[in-house]
Structure 1
Amino acid sequence: MTWMVTGGAGYIGSHVVRAFGQVGIPAVVLDDLSSGHREFVPEEVPFVQGSILDTDLVTAALREHGVTGVVHLAGFKYAGVSVQRPLHTYEQNVTGTAHLLEAMQSAGVTRMVFSSSAAVYGTPDVDLVTEDTATAPESPYGESKLIGEWLLRDQARATELHHTSLRYFNVVGSGTPELADTSPHNLFPLVLDALAEGRTPRINGDDYATPDGTCVRDYVHVADLATSHVAAARALSEGRELQRVYNLGSGDGVSVREIMTAMAQGTGIAFEPEVAPRRPGDPDRIVASGEAAARDLDWVMRHTLTEMVTSAWQARQAR
Structure 2
Amino acid sequence: MARLYGSRKRILITGGAGFLGSHLTDRLLDLGHEVICVDNLFTGTKRNIDHLHRHPRYEFMRHDVCFPLYVEVDEIYNLACPASPIHYQHDPVQTTKTSVHGAINMLGLAKRLKCKILQASTSEVYGDPAIHPQPEDYWGNVNPIGLRSCYDEGKRCAETLFFDYHRQHNLKIKVMRIFNTYGPRMHPNDGRVVSNFIMQALTGEPLTIYGEGKQTRSFCYVDDLVEGMIRLMDSEDSVTGPINVGNPDEFTIKELCELVLTHTGSASKVIYLPLPDDDPKQRKPDSKLALSLLNWSPSVELAAGLVRTIEYFRWVQANA
Structure 2: distance between partners of 1:189 and 1:182: 6
Corresponding position: 1:146 with 2:156: yes
What displacement does 1:80 show?
6.1
Kept in 1, the 8 Å contact 2:201–2:260? The answer is: no
Corresponding position: 1:221 with 2:218: no
CA-based RMSD of the aligned residues comes to: 1.9
Structure 1: distance between partners of 2:315 and 2:135: 37
Counterpart pick for 1:184 among 190, 201, 209: 190
Structure 1: distance between partners of 2:181 and 2:88: 19
Aligned with 1:116: secondary structure? Answer: strand
Kept in 2, the 8 Å contact 1:173–1:307? The answer is: no
Between stretches 82-91 and 289-298, larger displacement belongs to 82-91
Kept in 2, the 8 Å contact 1:173–1:221? The answer is: yes
Structure 1: distance between partners of 2:33 and 2:297: 21
Query: Structure 1 counterpart of 2:28, which letter?
Result: F
Structure 1: distance between partners of 2:266 and 2:162: 46
Kept in 1, the 8 Å contact 2:219–2:249? The answer is: no
Structure 2: distance between partners of 1:275 and 1:11: 28
Counterpart pick for 1:280 among 273, 277, 280: 277
Structure 2: distance between partners of 1:73 and 1:182: 19
Equivalence for 1:89: 95
Counterpart pick for 1:116 among 106, 114, 121: 121
Between stretches 34-43 and 254-263, larger displacement belongs to 34-43
Equivalence for 2:17: 9
1:225-276 per-position Cα deviation (integer Å, ceiling 9, x unaligned): 01111112222xxx54214200113223111011011101211223441112
Counterpart pick for 2:110 among 95, 101, 104: 104
Kept in 2, the 8 Å contact 1:78–1:141? The answer is: no
**Structure 1: unaligned runs, 5 residues or longer:** 207-212
Structure 2: distance between partners of 1:113 and 1:103: 12
Equivalence for 2:256: 259
Equivalence for 2:27: 19
Aligned with 2:286: secondary structure? Answer: coil
Structure 1: distance between partners of 2:201 and 2:17: 26
**Between the two proteins, what is the percent identity of the paired residues?**
21
Residues 82 and 316 of structure 1: CA distance in aligned 2, closer, same or farther (over 3 Å): closer
What TM-score, normalized by structure 2, do the two folds share?
0.87
1:46-66 per-position Cα deviation (integer Å, ceiling 9, x unaligned): 1111111221xx21xx22xxx
Structure 1: distance between partners of 2:196 and 2:215: 16
Residues 49 and 298 of structure 1: CA distance in aligned 2, closer, same or farther (over 3 Å): farther
What TM-score, normalized by structure 1, do the two folds share?
0.87
Query: Structure 1 counterpart of 2:66, which letter?
Result: L
Structure 2: distance between partners of 1:253 and 1:25: 35
Kept in 2, the 8 Å contact 1:3–1:28? The answer is: yes
Corresponding position: 1:52 with 2:75: no
Equivalence for 1:314: 311
1:21-61 per-position Cα deviation (integer Å, ceiling 9, x unaligned): 23223222111111111232212111111111221xx21xx
Query: Structure 2 counterpart of 1:276, which letter?
Result: L
Corresponding position: 1:127 with 2:132: yes
Aligned with 1:152: secondary structure? Answer: helix
Aligned with 2:74: secondary structure? Answer: strand
